[in-house]
Structure 1
Amino acid sequence: MANTPQARKRIRRNEKRAEINGARIGRIRTFVKKVESALAGGDKAAAAEALKEAQPELARGVARGVLHKNTAARKLSRLTKAVSGL
């Protein structure tokens, strides 16, 4: 248990940040899933449009510190390769 006021405050802040970061990660996952579902449907135009929307979300996740830059680059690269392969 946190004994000092500062430790209690850090626990409160960490809980808030975890909630916010979880929402950000969920938002990114949603955009990635939209691309993947368009790919599964075989609709290249929809997949390209979804990819265009997902790209800034991945970049925003990197900027906010919820995704490592290499992770975002890898996801984007794989999605782009899959869309161009349709």
Structure 2
Amino acid sequence: MANTPQSKKRAKQSEKRFLVNKARRSRIRTYLRKVEEAIASGDKDAATAALRAAQPELMRGVTKGVFHKNTASRKMSRLTARVKAIG
């Protein structure tokens, strides 16, 4: 457990940051799940709209340090390819 005032403060800051990042990660996953569901239903228009909504959220996650840039790019690339492949 933290003993010094500085380490106590850092522990509190770390906990707050964890909760913020957790909420942000969850929000991004929700957007990605909507894209997945639209792809699974075979509705190209809905999938395209969901992908357009998900992209800024995913990139915001990169900016905020929740995801690595290459991870987000890989996810967007794969989702885009799957949306394009819909009949």
Fold shared by both chains (TM-score > 0.5): yes
Task: Give runs of ≥4 in structure 1 deviating > 3 Å.
Answer: none
- Please provide the CA RMSD for this pair: 0.4
Q: Which residue type is aligned with residue 18 of structure 1?
A: F
Unaligned runs of 5+ in 1: none
Residue of structure 1 in register with 2:9 after alignment: 9
Question: Normalized against structure 1, the TM-score is what?
Answer: 0.99
- Residue 22 of structure 2 corresponds to residue 22 of structure 1: yes
Q: Distance in 1 between matches of 2:14 and 2:38?
A: 36
Q: Distance in 1 between matches of 2:85 and 2:46?
A: 14
Q: Percent identity?
A: 60
Residue of structure 1 in register with 2:63 after alignment: 63
Q: Which residue type is aligned with residue 11 of structure 1?
A: A
Unaligned runs of 5+ in 2: none
Question: Normalized against structure 2, the TM-score is what?
Answer: 0.98
Residue of structure 2 in register with 1:51 after alignment: 51
How far apart are residue 36 of structure 1 and its match?
Answer: 0.2
Count of residue correspondences: 86
